Amino acid sequence: MTQLQRRKIPDAAIARLPVYLQILNNLAAANVLRFSSDELAALAGVNAAKVRKDLSYLGSYGTRGVGYEVTYLTHQIKRELGLMREWNVVVVGAGNLGCALAKFDGFLSRGFPVIAIVDNDPKKIGRTTSSLTVGDVKDLKSIVRDEKISIGVITTSAASSQAAADALVEAGITSILNFAPVVLSTPSSVSVRSVDLGVELQILSYFEQMRLETGGKSENAPQLNSAGAR
C-alpha cells in the first residue's frame, strides 16, 4: 500500500470506532491495561471478528496471543477520528433543545466545546444561557471566523432549518449536525449528519407494533448505524 494515501475505512467501521473509544475510556478509568478482541466485542455488543477487522483498518496495533493495549489503541483511534484536538461548535437555534445542548456535558467532555449559540428571533438574542449569550444568526460569519468554529449544530424548527444550513455554509462551515426533521440540501463538500428524534421513535414503534402483532415472537435485528455524511 502506498504510504501517503489515507486508508479508506468503511463507513460502517467509522461509525463503530467512537463506540470502541468510549469503552476504552471506561477500561482506562478502571485501570485495565490490555484487552482482547473478544472482550471488547462483548462490551460493544458485536462480533469479535468485526472488532478485529475494524481495528485492523487503523493499522496492526495488536499483539497476537496478547491483545491490544488500552492507552495505545485509544491514541490510535483518536488520531484516526481527528480527536487529537478540540473542534469548536456553534449551535443555531436557541430553543429548548438548542439551549440544552449548549449546556450538554457530553459535547464538551468529548472534545466539542460549544462556543456560541445564535438565533434569528430578536426576543431570544441577548439572552444568556449557561455562560453563553445568544447571538444573532446574521453575525454567524464573523463568529465562525473569530471563534474558529468547525461544526454547526442545527436545532431550529423544521421551517428555519434550511436557512440555518445555508447560513452555516455561507459562514464557511463544512460539518453540520442537524436535529430538524428535514433533509437539508447543501453542497456536496459539506458533511451533514441528521439526528431526527421522531424517526428514532418511529423505528421503535415499528418493532413494538410487530411485537404486538406476532405476540412477541419477533426477533430483533442488531442496531447499527453507518457513518457517512452528506
Partner DNA sequence: AGGGCTTAGTGCATTAATTCACTAAGTCAA
Partner DNA sequence: TTGACTTAGTGAATTAATGCACTAAGCCCT
From the list 90, 99, 118, 140, which residue makes contact with a second copy (rule: CB under 8 A)? Answer: 99
137 near 120, Cβ under 8 Å?
yes
- If one asks whether residue 65 binds DNA (CB under 7 A), the answer comes out as yes
Residue from 22, 26, 63, 133 that binds DNA (CB under 7 A)? 63
* Cα 56 to Cα 134: distance, rounded to the nearest angstrom: 44
Of 154, 19, 146, 8, residue with least CA distance to 93: 154
Residue environment code for 48-71, b if the CB has 16+ CB neighbours within 10 A, otherwise e: eebbbebbeebeeebeeeebbbbe
> At 119, which helix (H) or strand (E)?
strand 114-119
Residue 150 beta carbon to DNA: minimum distance, rounded to whole angstroms: 25
The contact pattern for a second copy, residues 128-167, with x = CB under 8 A and - = no contact, is ----------------------xx----------------
The grid coordinates listed for 4 are: 501517503
User: Which residue number, 18 or 67, has a Cβ lying nearer to a second copy?
Assistant: 18
**Residue 100 interacts with DNA (CB under 7 A)?**
no
Handedness of CA 132, 134, 135, 138 (dihedral sign): positive
Question: Judged by CB under 7 A, which of 22, 38, 71, 197 binds DNA?
Answer: 38
Contacts with 105 (C-beta within 8 Å, 6 or more apart), sequence order: none
Considering the complex, state which of residue 57 and residue 104 has its C-beta at the smaller distance from DNA. Answer: 57
Shortest distance, CB of residue 229 to DNA, whole angstroms?
A: 13
List the one residue from 42, 44, 67, 104 that touches DNA (CB under 7 A). 67
Judged by the rule CB under 7 A, the positions of this chain that interact with DNA are 10-13, 35-38, 46-50, 52-53, 55-56, 60-68, 222, 224, 226
